[in-house]
Amino acid sequence: MLNEAAVKELNEIRQKYPNARAALLPALYIAQREFGHLSPEAYEAVSEILGVPKAIARGVATFYVMYKHKPMGRNIVQLCTNVSCMILGAEKLVDFLKNKHGLEPGGTTSDGRFSMVIMECIGACGTAPAMLVNDDFYENLTEKYIEEILGKYK
Amino acid sequence: MIKVTINGKEIELEKPVTVLEAARSAGIKIPTLCYHEQLEKYGGCRLCLVEVEKIPRLQTACTLMVTDGMVVRTETPQIADVRRGILEFLLINHPLDCPYCDKAGECELQDLVEKYGPAKGRYKEKKRKAPESLEDPVFVRNMERCVMCTRCVRMCDGVQGASAIAIINRGGHSHMEPFSGGKYDCEYCGNCVSVCPVGAIMSRLHRHSYRPWQVKEKTETICPYCGVGCTVIAQVRDDSIKRVIPKIGSSVNNGMLCSRGRFGYEFVGSSERLTSPMIKKNGVLEQATWEEAISLTAKRLGEIKNKYGGPSIAGIASPRCTNEDNYVFQKFMRVALGTNNIDSTARTGYAGTQKFIENIFGQGATANIISGLSNSDSVLVIGGDPTAINPILGLQIRACSRKGGNILAIGHIKGLEKFNPVTVSPRFYTETLLLEGIVSALKNKKGLPGSIPALEAKIKDISTSAKEVENGCGIAEKDFIRFTDTLSESLTPSIVLGKDIAQSSGGSYKLMLISAINYLMNARIYLLSERANEQGVLDMGCAPDLLPGYRPLSFAEFRKRYENAWKSPISEKPGLSIFEMVDSAKSNALKALYIMGENPVFNLPNSKAVKAALKNVEFIVVQDIFLTETGKLADVVFPALSWAEKEGTFTNMERRIQRLRKAVNREGMEDWRIISEVAKNMGVKLDYSGAEEIFQEISRISPLHRDLTYEEIGKGGAIYPYKGEPLRGVMEDIQMHKGSSVNPDGKLYLRLERPLFHSGTLSTKAPALVKIYPEAVARVSPAVGEALSLKSGDMARVSTRTGSLELPVNIDNKLDNLSVMLTNNFEDKGAFSLMEYTIDPVTKAPVIDANEVKLEKVLA
């Protein structure tokens, strides 16, 4: 179940849109934040509050990669491997994360501290390679810099 | 007038339609895949691309509206190329497993590829793999075959309104899935199966059992379940129904079916069907020949009639049997046995409600066209969930909401909850006060029209304020005002009325209040009907106070007319209602009971008492297709032919008379023919060559069916009064009974659940429906469950004064804290075995809302 504040937030978002289905995307983000990922319970909560059938909500969410469909680690590393990043060594960084931290694309570390997702272009081609950790932005990545960054997240 | 030229052919159109529709109206075929006439237009498959002059690129004919002077070409080398290309794309992933696929032979993709090619694709990559999903008991999903036309989703979300499936994922990974990913949690209407152009969603019932082209017999008939009367097509091979599909086009259902209609046909071929007549010898039913059973029945009925007189014999007719069966049955009772003791389970609500309303508004007041509901600007729903009782009527209410109409619900209506109903839920036993409040509010807003003084006299006495409603019913004043404002502002309202009203305390008084709402709003009223021929059984005179054609027995003039036609006197004494028959059996006054296609020992409330009473009856005859609880008590049991095995007519709730056609051959006799044989053995001539001859007699003497022929009915649209004169101006006093008020606090009441997936015990003989809804469960609210630490699936003992049952519990978030809901469908687990009833003196319906119940946890 969603807590009271989240329910209130959802209802407020609903008011900004002409119909309930239009409010689905932001509503699903709130549910994802509260439940950690879009579990059946998360869809049910959104469906109950917005009055949008849960199958439809799931159909919408699965279209987008930025919704999480399975349990995730506490922090999400989102590394870009698109053209510029790739040329500047992003794939080596993928290997580094795998070998050093046991963090595979789409996987989660055994301690649940990190999950990793490979991103398409995040618009930082001039400062590639780049990544997001949760909502924080990092560019000009090197193995050493990544070590430093990951240390900030528990 | 709009002029368009398609392939050089000039077409004139009255109003703008799509290019596709214009072409089809002129007989020009344009291939389609995602287009379906029942669904919202999509323009996704691109197969209907056509060339339009002055538009540079090809256009989708299914979405493009015609404009005056438009010149269209549908078959050019460029278009053929494009179509071939699209099909090649579809075949990248679509497996060529046609030899194994049930759809082969009626597959739209197969037909298109056959016509437009290509025989072979150029793609070397591996096809998408997805294992066939057999997780559901009824549906098989094969997502390798899906061509992403989204017809199923548009059907489920946009027409059926169940919204149980959606397209998930993106691009090449997308496919259709129910929410769980496996098993469906839906209304099981199967309309997604109907519209799937390929073998991606199929019914599991006939999986790998036949090929579409092997089905030679396609019989258009009427669904045997509820009072909507959907036209179905039974596809038969070797005298076994392989599939039931809806008819698209002129029919009540227009291509839609519900779970019962589509998946409930298997009872016809059940191995439990009765095959031979049986006679009870030394307390045991033993097989007998037809001659033995018929002559014994005739002999015993004759003896009892001579010894105790006709009124000691009674008959129970069946709302599942045809008009013809019922007509012959009542004629037999009246002519051969000389009694008006004939009734049916229509007495449990439908008959009395209809009579009450027609008394005020005139005959035919409840005969309204179902499809008209969607054109109402508001629908008031009270006394039952229409989407469960009459699902296809329920769809019209959903369509009304989609078109911008308001749904006004009294009490929580599960099947409409997603359609933004304006709901007021009165506390238990305070529905009357709420209705009084609504009548008062409407009276103040709209004023009295002045056309029915007797009703206005009653309305004038009613004065209940919003404040009183708030205090009494627990409905906030602002919610109540919103409800009455929405209602009073509507211009074309409809009222949908379920049986729960007639079966509740003070039912006739509530009916007066609902009639008052109907009157003040100038609304149309629809009565939900649970059985296919509930209306017909009344029309045929299977009621203690009615003659065929719905003519009151009490009028000498009508009796005379039938006496002349039947060349036999008719007793002027009204007969016993079905409940009076039970009382009469209890007091040993009833000596013989003839039951056709009904199971009173299960289908009447307080069924244990009914059983005890029937044990007193000297001689019981039962005609049925299964050996029912009642059949087990009988002295003679005749095997009857089922709905699929006979000709005849049903009359639906709109009063539309529709033809049943024989789909399956089976040895045996129709119900009317058994009765006619018994009559012959009693020396009474009741001979007919077939159902059509019976109908000819009906249309000769019943004013409602005058001049109606089978041929005319076959064309559809035979809604009575067909050339007949309706009875108006015979209004009697409005009698009503307020019932007693009860303080329900702190108690639990047993209430009857009317499920979507079952109908009587008939549906429990259909394995597919049993798989969907396998057993009786006691449904309670979370608070009730918590108080006894019961979770869904735990066993509980449900006890009333008449007995107790052990049942699994189901927790329902939407239920109130005073109710325990239980169905009356499953053998030995019927709600009616735990319910006592009183009779409403006006409607003669059983009042069953006062059964206190005790719930205990059963420890494993």
* pLDDT, mean over chain B: 93
Residue from A1, A24, A52, A58 to probe the interface with B (highest B Cβ count within 10 Å): A58
pLDDT at residue A136 above 70?
yes
Q: Is the pLDDT of residue B119 over 80?
A: no
- Supply the pLDDT for residue B282: 94
In chain B, what percentage of residues exceed pLDDT 70? 98
- Quick: pLDDT tens for B35-58: 999 999 999 999 999 999 999 999
The Cα of A51 is separated from the nearest Cα of chain B by a number of Å equal to: 6
Q: Measured between alpha carbons, how far is B839 from B506 in angstroms, rounded to an integer?
A: 10
Classified as helix, coil or strand, A66 is: coil
List, in order of start, the domains of chain B with CATH numbers. 2-75 (3.10.20.740), 102-107+120-269 (3.30.70.20), 278-344+542-710 (3.40.50.740), 350-527 (3.40.228.10), 749-857 (2.40.40.20)
Instruction: Enumerate long-range contacts of A133-136, CB under 8 Å, 24 or more apart.
Output: A133/A75, A133/A76, A133/A77, A133/A78, A134/A75, A134/A76
A144, A84: one domain:
yes
A56–chain B Cβ distance below 8 A for any pair: yes
- Helical residues (DSSP H) of B495-539, grouped into ranges: 499-502, 507-521, 534-539
Joined together, the tokens standing for residue B213 give: 């082209």
Position B727 scores a pLDDT of: 58
Closest chain B residue to the Cα of A57, Cα to Cα: B166
- Please tell me if residue A43 touches chain B, with a CB cutoff of 8 Å: yes
Which of A18, A33, A61 is a domain's end point? A61
Q: In what order do the strands lie in the sheet with B9-13?
A: B9-13, B2-6, B70-73, B49-52, B59-60
Residue where the block lists tokens 């309670």 = B780
B760: region left, alpha or beta (phi > 0 left; psi from -120 to 50 alpha)? left
Contacts 24+ apart (CB under 8 A), A91-99: A92/A143, A93/A129, A93/A141, A93/A143, A93/A146, A94/A118, A96/A143, A96/A146, A97/A146
Calpha distance B796→B857 (Å, rounded):
4
Backbone φ/ψ region at B609: left (φ over 0), alpha (ψ -120 to 50), beta: alpha
In this prediction the ipTM stands at 0.87
pLDDT for B251 beyond 90: no
Q: Which residues of B60-85 are buried (b: 16+ CB within 10 A; e: fewer)?
A: bbbebebeeebebebeeeebeebbee
Do A50 and A10 lie in a common domain?
yes
Give the model confidence (pLDDT) of B612-653 as tens digits: 999 999 999 999 999 999 999 999 999 999 999 999 999 999
Per-residue model confidence as pLDDT tens digits over B581-596: 999 999 999 999 999 9
In a domain, A106, yes or no: yes
Say yes or no to pLDDT of B722 above 60. Answer: no
> Of B251, B642, B731, nearest to B457 (Cα)?
B731
Does residue A107 fall inside a structural domain? yes
Q: Assess whether A56 and A94 both reside in one domain.
A: no
Interface residue of A14, A41, A62 to substitute, partner B, most B CBs within 10 Å: A62
* Closest Cβ opposite residue A56 in set B163, B169, B170: B163
pLDDT per residue as tens digits for the range B666-714:
999 999 999 999 999 999 999 999 999 999 999 999 888 888 899 888 8
Quote the tokens at residue B159.
Answer: 């027409």
How far is B420 from chain A, CA to nearest CA, in Å?
8
Report the alpha-carbon distance of residue B600 to residue B614 in Å, rounded.
9
Distance CA A153, CA A142 (A): 17
> Computed from CA positions of residues A11, A17, A22, A28, in that sequence, does the dihedral angle turn out positive or negative?
negative
> How many angstroms away from the CA of A126 is the closest CA of chain B?
30
CB-based contact, A58 to chain B, within 8 Å: yes
Say if residue A47 is in the same domain as residue A102.
Answer: no
How far is it, in rounded angstroms, from Cα B785 to Cα B768?
30
- What's the pLDDT at B737? 86
Residue B721's pLDDT is: 65
- Average pLDDT, stretch B754-769? 95
Q: Looking at the structure, do residues A14 and A49 belong to the same domain, yes or no? A: yes
Does residue A35 lie in a domain region? Answer: yes
- Residues of chain A found within 8 Å of residue B163, distances taken between Cβ atoms: 53, 55-56
Torsion of CA B72, B74, B76, B78, to 10 degrees: 90
Using a CB–CB cut-off of 8 Å, the residues of B that contact A are 153, 157, 163-170, 177-180, 418, 420
pLDDT tens digit sequence for B366-406: 989 999 999 999 999 999 999 999 999 999 999 999 999 99
- Residue A26, domain CATH: 1.10.10
DSSP-assigned states of every residue in B387-438: HHHSHHHHHHHHHHHHTTPEEEEES--GGGGGG--EEE-PPTT-HHHHHHHH
> How many C-beta atoms lie closer than 10 Å to residue B412's C-beta?
15
Residue listed under structure tokens 């008031």: B380
Peptide bond into B721 cis (omega under 30): yes
Q: How confident is the model at residue B215 (pLDDT cuts 50, 70, 90)?
A: confident
Q: Is residue A88 part of a domain?
A: yes
Which domain range does residue A116 map to? 75-151
Measure Cα distances from B249 to B13, B137, B226, B246 in Å: 21, 30, 20, 10
The Cα–Cα gap between B340 and B356 comes to 21
Residue A66 belongs to a domain: no
Of B170, B179, B420, the CB nearest to A55: B179
Residues from chain B contacting residue A66 (CB–CB below 8 Å) = none
DSSP per residue over B815-846, as a string?
S-TTEEEEES-STT--GGGG---EE-TTT-PE
| Number of domain units in chain A | 2
Residue B731: pLDDT over 70: no
A40 contact residues in B (CB cutoff 8 A): 179-180
B483 and B408 Cβ atoms separated by less than 8 Å: yes
pLDDT tens digits, A69-112:
989 899 999 999 999 999 999 999 999 999 998 999 989 998 99
Three-state SS across B17-85?
Answer: CEHHHHHHHCCCCCCCCCCCCCCCCCCCCCCCEEEECCCCCCEECCCCECCCCEEEECCCHHHHHHHHH
Helix count (H) and strand count (E) of chain B? Answer: 28, 36
Nearest Cα of chain B lies from the Cα of A47 at a distance, in angstroms, of: 10
* pLDDT value at residue A96: 94
CA distance B261 to B850: 33
* Residues A81 and A132 both lie in one domain: yes
Q: For residue A19, what is the nearest residue in chain B, using CA coordinates?
A: B420
A49 shares its domain with A87: no
- Percent of chain B whose predicted confidence (pLDDT) is above 90: 85
What value does the mean pLDDT take over residues B27-36?
95
The distance of B201 to chain A (nearest Cα, Å) reads: 17
d(CA B158, CA B165): 11
pLDDT at B458 over 70: yes
**pLDDT, position B738:** 86
The lowest-confidence range among B246-255, B335-344, B479-488, B493-502 is B246-255
What distance in Å separates the CA atoms of residue B606 and residue B105, rounded to the nearest whole number? 52
Residues from chain A contacting residue B166 (CB–CB below 8 Å):
55-56, 58-60
Q: Which H/E stretch holds residue B10?
A: strand B9-13
- Residue A100 sits in a domain of what CATH number? 3.40.30.10
Say whether pLDDT at B157 is over 90: yes
Identify whether residues A87 and A52 lie together within a single domain: no
User: Is the pLDDT at B729 greater than 80, yes or no?
Assistant: no
Does A68 fall in a domain?
A: no
pLDDT tier, B124 (very low <50, low <70, confident <90, very high otherwise)? confident
Instruction: Decide if A40 is inside a domain.
Output: yes
Instruction: For residue B120, name the pLDDT band (cuts at 50, 70, 90).
Output: confident
Do residue A87 and residue A42 come from a single domain?
no
Q: What is the spatial distance between Cα B331 and Cα B249, in angstroms, rounded to a whole number? A: 37
CB contact under 8 A, A43 and B179: yes
Q: A60 to chain B: nearest residue by CA?
A: B168
Q: Are A45 and A80 members of one domain? A: no
Question: Which secondary-structure segment (H or E) carries B493?
Answer: strand B493-497
Same domain flag for A80 and A142:
yes
Choose, out of A49, A52, A54, A66, the residue to mutate when testing the contact with B (most B CBs < 10 Å). Answer: A54
pLDDT at B808: 96
User: Looking at residue B730, what is its pLDDT?
Assistant: 56
Q: Which two tokens stand for residue B142?
A: 């094969």
b/e code B341-353 from CB counts within 10 Å (16+ = b):
bbbbbbbbbbbbb
Same domain, A57 and A79: no
Instruction: Choose from A14, A47, A63, A70 for mutation: most chain B CBs within 10 A.
Output: A63
Do residue B163 and residue A63 have CB atoms under 8 angstroms apart? no
Q: Supply the mean pLDDT for chain A.
A: 93
Q: Do A55 and B164 touch (CB under 8 A)?
A: yes
Angle ∠(B115,B119,B124) on CA atoms, nearest 5: 140
Residue numbers in A near B192 (CB within 8 A): none
Concatenating the DSSP letter of every residue in B609-665 gives HHHHHHTT-SEEEEEESS--HHHHH-SEEEEBP-GGG--EEEE-TT-BEEEE---S-
Structural domain includes residue A67: no
Share of chain A above pLDDT 70, in %: 100
Cβ contact, residue pair B179, A63, below 8 Å? no
Tell me the percentage of chain A whose pLDDT exceeds 90: 80
